[in-house]
Chains A and B, each alone.
Chain A
Amino acid sequence: DSGVTQTPKHLITATGQRVTLRCSPRSGDLSVYWYQQSLDQGLQFLIQYYNGEERAKGNILERFSAQQFPDLHSELNLSSLELGDSALYFCASSSTGADSPLHFGNGTRLTVT
């Protein structure tokens, strides 16, 4: 068990809808990362937060947004969903901003129909 908790485990929704994925990092970790894993793209970095502030941005669509709250949990919001957004979404956390391993949750499987 990595200590990173993601909810929900599964989400099925229709195109055009909006969903929120939630992540609780390991106790004491200040950095939270979101990754998308699809069959044809592998693990793609979306965005990183450190202690409530956005630290780095990757291949995150404008329809997607995230935030990290004062209690350090994070939410990833996906809107105007398309079929191609179906994927596994992973949250990871680490203790510092550099040179420390990321610890991943077990992901949220999003299916857009």
Chain B
Amino acid sequence: GESVGLHLPTLSVQEGDNSIINCAYSNSASDYFIWYKQESGKGPQFIIDIRSNMDKRQGQRVTVLLNKTVKHLSLQIAATQPGDSAVYFCAESPQYGNKLVFGAGTILRVKS
């Protein structure tokens, strides 16, 4: 999952630790947000989404936090595993639209 981008930020974590990936979004009119995971040679894979009327949403081992005041989104992965190694993208969508705008991505490396 590291084939995208030459200058992406990288987060290295030890297997079993929790990971936090951050994203600053740009459009204050965006009201729908998604996190995607992209492994090498594959398309982006949906992880979790959140709407602007929420500030937290939990899935299996993942939690997304939304802070609209500072236009910040984060993805927390609990008990990170080697299979979590990939590039992670946040994406935002404007109100009433579904044209997702993607962030640049963050490389997550999990050390065993």
Contact = CB atoms under 8 A, between A and B. Distances in A.
Bind each other: yes
Interface of A: 2, 4, 31, 33, 35, 37, 39-40, 42-43, 45, 48, 56, 58, 90, 92, 94, 96-107
The majority secondary structure among interface residues of chain B is: loop
Contacts of A103: 46
Nearest to B93: A99
A58 B99 contact: yes
Interface residues of B, number: 27
A96 B32 CA distance: 14
Contacts of A2: 43, 45-46
A105 B43 contact: yes
Contact of B97 (A92, A98, A104): A98
Interface in B68-112: 89, 93, 96-105
Contacts of B42: 106-107
Nearest to B46: A101
Given A2-B45, A42-B104, A106-B41, 19 more contacts: A2-B43, A4-B43, A35-B102, A37-B4, A39-B5, A39-B6, A42-B102, A42-B105, A43-B44, A43-B89, A56-B97, A58-B99, A92-B44, A94-B98, A98-B96, A98-B98, A102-B34, A104-B45, A107-B43
B15 interface: no
